[in-house]
């Protein structure tokens, strides 16, 4: 710029001197003088033109320099904007510190997000004042590398946040100059999640390595062609080979090639990419043993398989022993259940016999007692019928029946057996087809399925019994027993607890029961299944937990006519002073004991279930001096019930009764026990002693 100004001054000075020179010259006196003067003027003109050219070039250069400077300034502005944008919008932490004293000059939002400090809290302070470094050695490493190299790349350090928690960062820094002053530009990225993932991955790998090395199962890595390229120690032990021998033998060398299930397993693996089945394997010594084999294709590039083999030889041996043991246990369960049922019926018979002796002169009462004895005996006969049906030795007398009438007759007894907490509705089909069946068997089916529904609704619910004519198409059936044809369908639909899929697969098996010990022989539904199959019918069951259960009983249509009516049955009840809560789920036993207690002067509050007993105990208007309760009841045993009653009435005494042995029951000194069927006279003596406090266990 100074050179250009100098050139401009020279041109002006030259023009001035030329003007002065012309003015000082004398006027030409001759042509010669004029020519000489003209020549000088021409020389001055040339010099002026040359100066003008130089000046023009200088001006052009000056304009270009100004243009270049503006462009440079614009580019610098763009760069500064980009830097500012990057600085402030970067998710990474960026901070600038003076090299001389380490004070923060500027931070970005990423710094605030990672550390929790705002710019106002940081600017003008040092990292030491803020206690940013969790490990002082990290700061020392940064300072050392900056001093030696002027730059640091990927320094892993732990920083302390404002709230005291720590974060792992990956830090890069370098020395820069800002307005001539040396500063440190630092960029840190939060890698805490990555470090945690790395730790988890490492832990997972260690766990896998431990499982692989320590597993009792044989574990292999194989190729699709069956080549083994890795085996764990248990595999070597199981097959009696070294890892090298297993790799040489391959998968085909350890799986029994003659196993009939092998082909299906291979086909399943190709289709579903995995198998989980039982196959037989071969040890090095030629021994064939049963095994559970699981295999899954774990990757495609390259293709690999993960195979686990479990030796189940010992389990198979134990299963055989257990099967034999279960057969014996089932027989024991059957005997116990039958004994319990018979004890309850005998209790009713013996009790009414004692009452009859006491009222020998009252013929009406004796007749009622005899009716109850007959009813109990008939129920005992039903137990025998169930056993005979199960063993296929029952003599049946098929008749042409109207199922609606048999069910309606059964309902008279059902209302008493089911209890008021369950509502029963019967929806008979008009013009129902006839069926050919023993009426006692149909009554058994109705009673058993209804009582099952009641037991599934301890807190109450509803049972709907419905009849309908239907033509069944086997093509849409899932039942293996179904046959196409015309059927009378009897549906039992309850709102009870329902059953899961596992239970549904076993409900018709002999000796299988979901009830408590002593509350079922496991013959109920097995007997029903046998009755229906004996009459060429079948049963469909649908159920889910907490959604209720629906039994659909299909009985073949009968096309001939005459129908025999089933005989009607009768039943009865009675009352008396010191107050007793009688808890007994068996109606016959509860009735006869209640009558006896009232007869000898006690006030009796009856409860058919523990739930009802607890409601009575919770009523302060009811006086209760003693609880006489069955020990084994559905939903809650007597011991648990008494614990809850004692919370309401701590001082109340109790006598337990049961048809089972008491080996599994422990009683306190305040508790007493009587074995069923018990003598009513002995019961009266025990009651008197316990209530008076003179009886000691």
Mean pLDDT of 532-544: 86
Q: Are 359 and 365 in contact (CB under 8 A)?
A: yes
What is the predicted pLDDT for the residue at 579? 92
Q: Are 612 and 639 in contact (CB under 8 A)?
A: no
Sign of CA dihedral 621, 623, 627, 630: negative
Q: Which CATH class is domain 579-692?
A: alpha beta
The chain-wide mean pLDDT, for the chain, equals 79
Residue that wins the pLDDT comparison between 514 and 191: 191
> Of the ranges 119-133, 362-376, 521-535, 676-690, which one carries the lowest mean pLDDT score?
521-535
Q: According to the per-residue pLDDT averaged within each range, which of 35-39, 404-408, 560-564 is highest?
A: 404-408
Q: Is the pLDDT of residue 49 over 80?
A: no
Q: Which CATH class is domain 90-195?
A: alpha beta
Phi-psi region of 102 (alpha: psi -120 to 50; beta: other; left: phi over 0): left
pLDDT band (50, 70, 90) for residue 386: low
Provide the token pair at 436.
């050919």
What is the predicted pLDDT for the residue at 300? 65
Q: Is the pLDDT of residue 612 over 90?
A: yes
Do 90-195 and 215-311 show the same overall fold? yes
Residue for token pair 């196959």: 279
Q: Which residues contact 269 (CB under 8 A, 6 or more apart)?
A: 275, 295, 297
Q: Is the pLDDT of residue 475 over 70?
A: no
Q: Are 661 and 674 in contact (CB under 8 A)?
A: no
Q: Is the pLDDT of residue 221 over 80?
A: yes
- C-alpha distances in angstroms, 404 versus 398, 470, 682? 16, 15, 46
* Alpha carbon distance 584, 678 (integer Å): 14
Residue that wins the pLDDT comparison between 438 and 286: 286
Counting residues of the chain whose pLDDT is more than 90, the rounded percentage is: 21
Long-range CB pairs of 683-686, under 8 A, 24+ apart, other chains included: 683/593, 683/596, 684/596, 684/600, 686/655
What is the predicted pLDDT for the residue at 89? 72
What is the predicted pLDDT for the residue at 633? 86
* Alpha carbon distance 410, 421 (integer Å): 18
Q: What is the DSSP secondary-structure string of 359-403? A: TTT-HHHHHHHHHHHHHHHHHHHHHHHHHHHHTT------EEE-H
Strand order in 422-427's β-sheet?
Answer: 422-427, 461-472, 485-494, 549-556, 538-543
For the chain, how far is it from start to end, CA to CA, in angstroms? 126
To which CATH superfamily is domain 215-311 assigned?
PAS domain (3.30.450.20)
Q: Each residue of 200-210: pLDDT tens digit?
A: 888 888 888 88
pLDDT band (50, 70, 90) for residue 521: very low
Q: Are 578 and 602 in contact (CB under 8 A)?
A: yes
Q: Each residue of 295-347: pLDDT tens digit?
A: 887 766 677 888 999 999 888 888 777 666 655 555 555 556 566 667 777 77
pLDDT band (50, 70, 90) for residue 546: confident
| Count of other CB atoms within 10 angstroms of residue 155 | 16
What is the predicted pLDDT for the residue at 392? 45
Counting residues of the chain whose pLDDT is more than 70, the rounded percentage is: 77
Q: Is the pLDDT of residue 373 over 90?
A: no
Q: At residue 126, what are phi and psi to the nearest 5 degrees?
A: -105, 165
Q: Are 212 and 232 in contact (CB under 8 A)?
A: yes
What is the predicted pLDDT for the residue at 20? 64
What is the predicted pLDDT for the residue at 25? 56
What is the predicted pLDDT for the residue at 566? 44
Provide the token pair at 679.
């003598």
What is the predicted pLDDT for the residue at 395? 44
Identify the CA nearest to 170 among candidates 157, 160, 182, 183: 157
pLDDT band (50, 70, 90) for residue 242: very high
Each domain of the chain, given as residue ranges in start order, spans 2-85, 90-195, 215-311, 396-556, 579-692
Q: Each residue of 260-297: pLDDT tens digit?
A: 888 888 887 777 778 888 899 999 999 999 999 988 87
Q: Is the pLDDT of residue 565 over 60?
A: no
Stated as kind and residue range, the H or E segment containing 105 is: strand 104-107
What is the predicted pLDDT for the residue at 179? 81
Q: Is the pLDDT of residue 575 over 50?
A: no
Q: Domain 396-556, CATH 3.30.565.10 — does that match? A: yes
DSSP-based three-state secondary structure for 256? coil
Q: Each residue of 453-469: pLDDT tens digit?
A: 888 888 889 999 999 99
Q: Is the pLDDT of residue 519 over 50?
A: no
Strands in 253-393 per DSSP E? 274-282, 288-300, 303-311
Q: What is the DSSP secondary-structure string of 118-185? A: -HHHHTT--HHHHT-BSSHHHHHHHHHHHHHHSEEEEEEEEEE-TTS-EEEEEEEEEEEEETTEEEEE
DSSP-based three-state secondary structure for 464? strand
* Alpha carbon distance 587, 370 (integer Å): 16
575 by Cβ neighbours in 10 Å (0-12 / 13-18 / 19+) ranks as exposed
Residue that wins the pLDDT comparison between 11 and 85: 85
């Amino acid at each position: 710029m100074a050179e250009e100004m100098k050139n401009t001054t020279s041109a002006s000075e030259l023009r001035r001197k030329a003007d002065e020179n012309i003015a000082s010259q004398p006027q030409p006196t001759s042509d010669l003088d004029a020519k000489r003067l003209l020549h000088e003027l021409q020389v001055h003109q040339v010099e002026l033109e040359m100066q003008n050219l130089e000046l023009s070039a200088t001006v052009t250069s000056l304009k270009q320099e100004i243009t270049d400077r503006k462009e440079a300034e614009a580019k610098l502005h763009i760069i500064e904007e980009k830097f500012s944008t990057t600085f402030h919008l970067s998710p990474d932490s960026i901070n600038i510190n003076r090299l001389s004293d380490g004070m923060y000059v500027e931070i970005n939002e990423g710094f605030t997000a990672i550390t929790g400090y705002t710019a106002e809290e940081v600017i003008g302070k040092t990292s030491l004042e803020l206690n940013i470094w969790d490990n002082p050695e990290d700061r020392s490493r940064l300072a050392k590398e900056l001093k030696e190299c002027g730059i640091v790349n990927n320094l892993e350090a732990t920083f302390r946040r404002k709230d005291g928690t720590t974060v792992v960062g990956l830090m890069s820094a370098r020395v820069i100059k800002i307005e001539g002053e040396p500063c440190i530009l630092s960029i840190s990225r939060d890698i805490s999640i990555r470090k945690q993932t790395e730790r988890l991955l490492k832990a997972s790998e260690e766990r896998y390595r431990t499982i692989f090395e320590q597993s009792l199962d044989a574990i292999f890595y194989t190729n699709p062609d069956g080549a083994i390229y890795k085996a764990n120690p248990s595999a070597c032990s199981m097959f009696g080979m070294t890892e090298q021998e297993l790799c040489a033998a391959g998968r085909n060398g350890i799986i029994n090639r003659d196993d009939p299930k092998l082909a299906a397993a291979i086909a399943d693996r190709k289709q579903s990419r995995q198998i989980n089945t039982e196959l037989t394997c071969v040890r090095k010594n030629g021994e064939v043993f049963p095994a559970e084999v699981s295999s899954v294709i774990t990757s495609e590039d390259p293709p690999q398989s993960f195979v686990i083999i479990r030796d189940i030889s010992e389990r198979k041996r134990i299963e055989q022993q257990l099967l034999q043991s279960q057969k014996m246990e089932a027989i024991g369960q059957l005997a116990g259940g039958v004994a319990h049922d018979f004890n309850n019926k005998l209790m009713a018979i013996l009790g009414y016999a004692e009452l009859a002796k006491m009222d020998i002169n009252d013929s009406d009462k004796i007749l009622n007692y005899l009716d109850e004895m007959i009813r109990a005996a008939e129920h005992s006969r039903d137990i025998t019928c169930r056993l005979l049906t199960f063993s296929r030795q029952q003599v049946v007398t098929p008749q042409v029946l109207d199922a609606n009438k048999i069910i309606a007759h059964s309902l008279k007894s059902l209302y008493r057996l089911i209890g008021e907490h369950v509502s029963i509705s019967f929806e008979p089909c008009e013009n129902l087809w006839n069926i050919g069946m023993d009426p006692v068997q149909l009554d058994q089916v109705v009673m058993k399925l209804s009582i099952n529904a009641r037991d599934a609704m301890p807190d109450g619910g509803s049972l709907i019994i419905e009849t309908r004519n239907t033509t069944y198409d086997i093509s849409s059936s899932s039942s293996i027993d179904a046959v196409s044809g015309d059927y009378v369908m009897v549906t039992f639909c309850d709102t009870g607890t329902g059953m899961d899929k596992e239970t549904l697969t076993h409900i018709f098996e002999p000796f299988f029961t979901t009830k408590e010990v002593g509350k079922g022989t496991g013959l109920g539904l097995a007997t029903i299944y046998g009755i229906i199959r004996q009459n060429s019918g079948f049963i469909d069951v649908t159920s889910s937990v907490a959604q209720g259960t629906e039994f659909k009983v299909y009985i073949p249509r009968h096309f001939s006519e005459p129908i025999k009516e089933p005989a009607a049955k009768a039943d009865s009840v009675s009352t008396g002073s010191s107050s007793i809560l009688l808890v007994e789920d068996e109606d016959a036993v509860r009735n006869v004991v209640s009558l006896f207690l009232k007869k000898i002067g006690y006030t009796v509050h009856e409860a058919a279930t523990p739930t009802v007993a607890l409601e009575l105990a919770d009523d302060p208007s009811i006086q209760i001096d003693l609880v006489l309760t069955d020990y084994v009841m559905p939903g809650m045993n007597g011991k648990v019930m008494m614990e809850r009653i004692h919370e309401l009435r701590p001082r109340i005494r109790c006598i337990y009764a049961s048809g089972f042995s008491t080996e599994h029951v422990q009683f306190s000194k305040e508790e007493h026990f009587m074995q069923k069927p018990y003598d009513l006279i002995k019961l009266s003596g025990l009651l008197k002693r316990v209530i008076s406090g003179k009886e000691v266990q």
